[in-house]
Homo-oligomer: A and B are copies of this chain.
Amino acid sequence: MTPKQESEFAARRPNALDRLITLFSKLPGIGKKSAGRIAYHILDNNPALAQTLANELAGLHQAIRRCSTCGGFTETDPCSVCSDPGRDHTIICVVEHAQDMRIIEESREFPGVYHVLGGLIAPLEGVGAGDLSIDKLIARIREADADRQVRELILALNPTVEGDTTSLYLQKLLKNFPVEITRLASGMPVGGNIEYIDKLTLSRSFRGRVKL
């Protein structure tokens, strides 16, 4: 096939559809073929589906903000977990991403509150402790009201090199605080990702957490 023919073939595809497929294929876990499947599904469907999706996406960043206490995504500030007097505010579960918080909430295993680090220490990728929400965590522990003194910090980080490095860093940093530091028990496959753990394994990890 000559270059001229190639460009003709490329020119033949409808542009609006192409752009949508390209956008979808950049989302996590969606390859080029899946993106095509999704775009054609939306096109084949009632226009109301496309419109509803469009409206939700357009309003997303306005509706959802970061909780100023824990860093999780929320519609109200502070979020429903941080503002709930029924939660145990003396136990903070430290997670990498806001979505980890969602996964743990769905397992219904944890009665305390959260703190989202926003990442893990990864020197090779240029992410240092200063890039994470660690100062805020220290402030939360220091400035807690007398009846909400933090007594335990559960590090629910991925069991990877970065997760272990971050755990070690936090452990050293907090060694003079009257706070017990634990990490989730193994049961999580090493090298795995906290997002894909089944609820039962996650539940076992909470129960079997190990003191550092």
Q: Which residues of A contact B (CB under 8 A)?
A: 1, 5-6, 8-9, 11-17, 19-20, 23, 27-30, 33-34, 36-38, 40-44, 47, 50-61, 63-64, 73-75, 79-81, 84, 86, 97-99, 102-103, 105, 108, 195-196
For this complex, 11 residue pairs linking A to B, each with C-beta atoms less than 8 Å apart, are A23-B52, A23-B56, A28-B37, A29-B30, A30-B34, A36-B195, A40-B97, A43-B73, A50-B60, A51-B57, A58-B58
Nearest to A74 among chain B residues (CB) is: B14
Please determine whether A43 and B61 come into contact, CB atoms closer than 8 angstroms. Answer: yes
Secondary structure dominating the interface of A: helix
How near does chain B come to A162, taking the closest CB pair, in angstroms?
17
Nearest to A34 among chain B residues (CB) is: B29
A9 to chain B: which residues have CB within 8 Å? 105, 108
How near does chain B come to A114, taking the closest CB pair, in angstroms?
11
How near does chain B come to A59, taking the closest CB pair, in angstroms?
6
Please determine whether B13 and A105 come into contact, CB atoms closer than 8 angstroms. Answer: yes
Known contacts A14-B73, A75-B15; decide if A58 and B50 are in contact (CB<8 Å): yes
Please determine whether A29 and B23 come into contact, CB atoms closer than 8 angstroms. Answer: no
Besides the known contacts A50-B58, A50-B60, 11 further A-B residue pairs in the complex with CB atoms under 8 A apart? A9-B108, A14-B79, A15-B63, A28-B34, A28-B41, A30-B34, A30-B38, A33-B195, A36-B103, A43-B64, A57-B57
